[in-house]
Structure 1
Amino acid sequence: MSTTQSDRLRGLLEPLVAAKGLDLEEIELSRAGKRRMLRIIVDSDEGLDLDLCAELSREISDQLDASDVMGEDEYNLEVSSPGADRPLTEHRHYVRATGRLVKFQLTEGELVARILEVDDEGLDLEVPGVKGRKATARRVAFAEVVKARVEIEFNRKDKKEEEA
C-alpha cells in the first residue's frame, strides 16, 4: 500500500476508531485474487468484543463508501483485534500485557518472564524459577528490548480468578 493511501486511510479511520475508545493499531492492504483485502487492526485496554467489532466494521464500511480513498476496485474489509501473538512494540502494548508471560529478545540474549509493572523507562518482571527454584525479580529497560511477544499459556490463571 502506498504511503499516501496509508496516510489517507489512517486520517479517515483514526477519528472513527478513537470515538469508540479504541486504538488503530495497523492498516494492511493486500491482494486476494482479483480483489483487495483491507484489514484494520484495533485494540483497547479492555480488549475488543465481537459486537463492538461488528459495529465498527459497519461504520468503517460506510465511511469508506462515502470517500474515494479505496478507489473504484472491489475490496473485502476485515476489522479485528491484533491476536495473542502480535509483537509488543508500543508502551500501551506492554501495559496491556501486564500479568502475562512474555518472551523477550534482549540486546544481551533471550528471557521469558511475566510482566509485573510498566513505567516510562522499562518493565518490572518476574522470571519463573526452574526445577523447583523460586521466581526472581528483574528490571529491564525498554532500551534493552529488541523484540517481545506474549507467550500463550493454556493454564494461566485469569486476573478475575486471582481477585476472587
Structure 2
Amino acid sequence: MASDEVDRLLRSVVEPIAAAHELAVEGVRIRVRGRLRTVVVVLDLADGPGALGSDLLADVTREVSDALDAVDVPGDAYTLEVSTPGVTRPLTTPRHFRRAQRRLLRVELTDGTALTGRVTSADDDGVTLTAVAPVGAPTGARSGGRGAAPETRTLTYPQIASAVVEVELRRVQED
C-alpha cells in the first residue's frame, strides 16, 4: 500500500475517535527512521480557546491504539505517538486563530510589515488584534503614546503571511 493510502487509512481510523471527543485532527502520518516506525497523531480542541487536558489525551491515545490494532494498520510493529501541536505552531487556519483567543501573536503581513497584538476575536474571514505594536517596539508601546486607547486592527487572512503565538512568561490577567 502506498504511503498516501496508509496515511488516509490512518486518518479514517483516527477522525471518528477525535470527533467523538470534540477534537480536531491536525495531522496523522507514519514516520520511519531506520527500522523504527512511529504513527504520529496530532490532535487539538475543535474550536475556541482552552487546552487539551492530559487525561483526555491519554483516553484518546488508548482508543486510537485499540482501533489501529483492530484494523491492523499500519501492519508491522510501530510506536504510537499522540500529542498536541504545541503553542509555537504556525497559525494557518481560521480555527487556529479562534483557538488563540486572548493570546499574543506575532504576525507578518504580506506587505512585509510585522506586528504584535492580542487576539480579541477571530472568525472565518479574519482576526482582530488589540494593543497592536510594530515588532521590536518596547512592551506596551502603541501609536498615540502613553495613556492612548489601545490600537485595534482587523486583518483578513489573505493579508497574513505568517502568524505564531508569542510565549508569555507573565500573562496579562484575564477579565
TM-score (norm 2): 0.83
Aligned residue for 1:36?
Answer: 37
Aligned residue for 2:162?
Answer: 147
Is the counterpart of residue 106 in structure 1 residue 95 in structure 2?
no
From 113, 136, 139, give the equivalent of 2:151. 136
1:80-99 paired onto structure 2 within 5 Å: 80-99=83-102
Structure 1 unaligned regions, length at least 5: none
Aligned residue for 1:19?
Answer: 20
Structure 2 unaligned regions, length at least 5: 134-139
**What CA distance in whole angstroms lies between the structure 2 residues aligned with 1:35 and 1:42?**
22
Show CA shifts across 1:9-63 (max 9, x none).
1111100111011111111321244211111111114421111111111111110
Show CA shifts across 1:69-96 (max 9, x none).
202x211111111111111111111011
After TM superposition, the structure 1 stretch with the greater mean CA deviation from structure 2, 31-40 or 11-20, is 31-40
3-state secondary structure, aligned to 2:95: helix
**What CA distance in whole angstroms lies between the structure 2 residues aligned with 1:104 and 1:3?**
32
Show CA shifts across 1:127-164 (max 9, x none).
0442864431112111111211111010113xxx533x
3-state secondary structure, aligned to 2:174: helix
Aligned residue for 2:124?
Answer: 120
**What CA distance in whole angstroms lies between the structure 2 residues aligned with 1:69 and 1:105?**
40
Is the counterpart of residue 55 in structure 1 residue 67 in structure 2?
no
TM-score (norm 1): 0.88
Alignment-mate amino acid for residue 42 of structure 1: L
1:60-75 paired onto structure 2 within 5 Å: 60-71=64-75, 73-75=76-78
Report the identity percentage.
40
**What CA distance in whole angstroms lies between the structure 1 residues aligned with 2:31 and 2:165?**
26
Alignment-mate amino acid for residue 162 of structure 1: E
